[in-house]
Amino acid sequence: MKVCAIIPAFNEASTIQSVIQRTKRHVKNIVVVDDGSNDSTRQIAQQERVTVVHHHKNMGLGRSITDGVDRALHLKADIIVQLDGDGQHNPDEIPTLLEPILDGGADVVVGSRFLEGGDTSMPAIKRMGNRIFSSLLSKMCGARITDSQSGFRAYKSEVIRDINLISSFSYTQEFLFHAYQNGFRIKEIPIAVEKREHGKSKVVRNIIGYTTRQLLTLFRIYRDYEPLKTFSMISLFFFLFGIIFGFVAFIQKAHQMILGLTGLLLIILSIQLFFFGFLADMAMNVKKEFFQNLRRR
């Protein structure tokens, strides 16, 4: 099976050469996505004679992965490996990531920093945030996920072929939810994370902004894959408020018409939202069946 490695990089001139050279020991086909670096990241990658995708400006990790996957699929890759260009992922663990897929036991393998003791080098607040988001995603998927934000993973090309990433700045949780929803087998294995010696994280620059965007991304993922449940909950919210306004209008002498009309409008809105969710759910089921039939062929 043809394996292709994707390495997203943004201002990683100090580490990208070492990452590429170490990756070459295990993977022949390598795609480096230079996400608008203003240092010599792209030039160094080109000197290593690997495929380089260049962004003229910084477009985010999600877009980098999407463009890297497109190039890997163009190269006819059967399996795709992802690792960061900052040197924290150990390329020598690539064979361990690939083993469950090559043995036929998994479609997606994620390197978890929290199995077998966990990553003690991660700052406490980032570790806590990761566990919270992993717990939320586990409940959404109905399966245990310990490290939903790990960027070190391997998967069959068919897993990513039909997905359109929503978030431009991240992709990790959205990818896993998509895989679970489409019945792909996912396995986590423990990995060691090497200490970052140069620069700072390009993803978590502001913890509040990062948390807000992650929560918004989770909501959008759930909305797109579970539209009936999402719109039903929103519909119930407006319906209850409509009942409350109607009840208050019934017992209140003043402003009865305004309160009653408001309650009626809220109930009508709730019914419309429910039918929007119903129609979206039908469309989602048709889409799932289409791609399942496509994969069977």
Residues 6+ positions from 77 with CB-CB distance below 8 Å: 2, 3, 4, 29, 157
Model pTM score: 0.74
Residue 61's nearest CA partner among 89, 19, 23, 33 is 33
Mean pLDDT (10-residue bins), the chain, 297 residues: 95 95 96 95 96 93 91 95 93 96 94 75 72 82 84 93 64 83 89 69 61 75 80 92 87 75 90 88 69 55
Q: What is the per-residue pLDDT for 100?
A: 96
Q: Could you give the C-alpha distances from 89 to 4, 25, 137, 192, in angstroms and in order?
A: 16, 14, 23, 8
* The two three-digit tokens of residue 20, written as one number: 């590429």
Residue 230: how many other CB atoms lie within 10 Å: 20
Token pair of 190 as six digits: 């423990």
What's the pLDDT score for residue 293?
60
How confident is the model at residue 201, as a pLDDT?
A: 54
Helices 124-141 + 172-181 axis angle, to 10: 20
Helix 207-225 with 124-141: angle, nearest 10 deg = 10
C-alpha 295: how far from its chain's center? 22
Tell me, what's the pLDDT at 91?
Answer: 95
